[in-house]
């Protein structure tokens, strides 16, 4: 199984690259995030890129999909576990949405109504939300725990996650809770907050 490739980009379109790895060109269908990263370094001569990959094996084809990191690959794997969502459709979603936006669709069904992706209607996005809602919180939590273990200087990601969950338990929609969290971080700068302090600051912001 090909889990990652590192090489130079010899061809790039919006959703696809050919990566030269030791003289072999690999066609990879890429996500929005990895496309933006490659575009930002396109002027750098001989820039090397490491792309996390998923190999889709069919009877008559082998197709590589590329991601910016493991968490984006995990969300792709969750998407293709939904009935009626194949790799191409999951790739289409990730060429329009970031990891965080996909999380928002899954955790807040009302968010899906505001998203427009060619070839994918609101009903399909709502199906994704209903199917993955229970699974996504474990993925989301696992991601934030990893960030917590490596965080330096800024408020730990896991603390933000706990504060976000507390606000959602109080009845706030995820996008509303995320806005409150962002405002608290803006006011507090880079200082570290405990979970209790983060929640208290969030409630203080709401009561203003």
Q: Where are the domains of the chain?
A: 4-68, 70-134, 151-208
CATH ID of 4-68, from 3.40.109.10, 2.40.50.140, 3.40.50.720, 1.10.3720.10: 2.40.50.140
Cα distances (Å, whole numbers) of residue 174 to 25, 143, 161, 201? 42, 17, 11, 17
CB 90 within 8 A of CB 120: no
Q: Domain 151-208's class?
A: mainly alpha
The answer to whether the beta carbons of residues 41 and 47 sit under 8 Å apart is yes
Determine the pLDDT at residue 154: 43
pLDDT score, position 153:
38
Residues 6+ apart with CB under 8 A from 156: 147, 148, 192
- Predicted pLDDT at 67: 95
The values of phi and psi at residue 179, to 5°, are -65, -45
Stated as kind and residue range, the H or E segment containing 122 is helix 122-150
Distance between CA atoms of 20 and 86, rounded to whole angstroms?
Answer: 27
Which residues, given as ranges, of the chain have pLDDT below 70? 42-46, 109, 136-158, 161, 189-192, 208
Give the pLDDT confidence score for residue 189 in this predicted structure: 60
Give Cα 177 to chain centroid, integer Å. 18
Specify the pLDDT at position 44.
55
E strand map for 33-159: 48-57, 62-67
In terms of pTM, does the model score above 0.85? Answer: no
Is the distance from CB of 104 to CB of 111 less than 8 angstroms? yes
Instruction: Give the closest residue to 78 by CA, choosing from 146, 1, 142.
Output: 142
Measured CA to CA, the distance from residue 99 to residue 113 in angstroms comes to 18
CATH architecture of the domain 70-134 equals Orthogonal Bundle (1.10)
Please give the C-alpha separations between residue 207 and each of 131, 139, 178, 200, in angstroms, as whole numbers. Answer: 35, 31, 16, 11
Task: Give the model's pLDDT for residue 151.
Answer: 41
């Amino acid at each position: 199984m090909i889990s990652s490739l590192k090489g130079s980009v010899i061809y790039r379109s919006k959703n696809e690259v050919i990566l030269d790895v030791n003289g072999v060109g690999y066609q990879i269908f890429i996500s929005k995030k990895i496309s933006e990263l490659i575009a930002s370094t396109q002027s750098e001569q001989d820039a090397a890129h490491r792309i996390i990959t998923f190999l889709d094996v069919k009877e008559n084809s082998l197709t590589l999909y590329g991601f910016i990191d493991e968490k984006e690959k995990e969300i792709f794997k969750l998407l293709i576990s939904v009935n009626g969502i194949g790799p191409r459709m999951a790739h289409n979603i990730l060429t329009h949405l970031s990891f965080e936006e996909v999380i928002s669709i899954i955790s807040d069904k009302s968010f899906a109504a505001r998203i427009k992706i060619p070839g994918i209607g609101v009903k399909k996005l709502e199906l994704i939300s209903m199917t993955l809602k229970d699974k996504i919180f474990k993925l989301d939590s696992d991601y934030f725990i990893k960030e917590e273990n490596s965080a330096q200087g800024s408020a730990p990601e896991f603390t933000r996650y706990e504060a976000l969950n507390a606000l959602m338990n109080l009845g706030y929609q995820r996008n509303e809770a995320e806005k409150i969290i962002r405002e608290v971080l803006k006011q507090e700068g880079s200082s570290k907050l405990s979970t209790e302090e983060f929640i208290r600051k969030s409630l203080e912001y709401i009561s203003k």
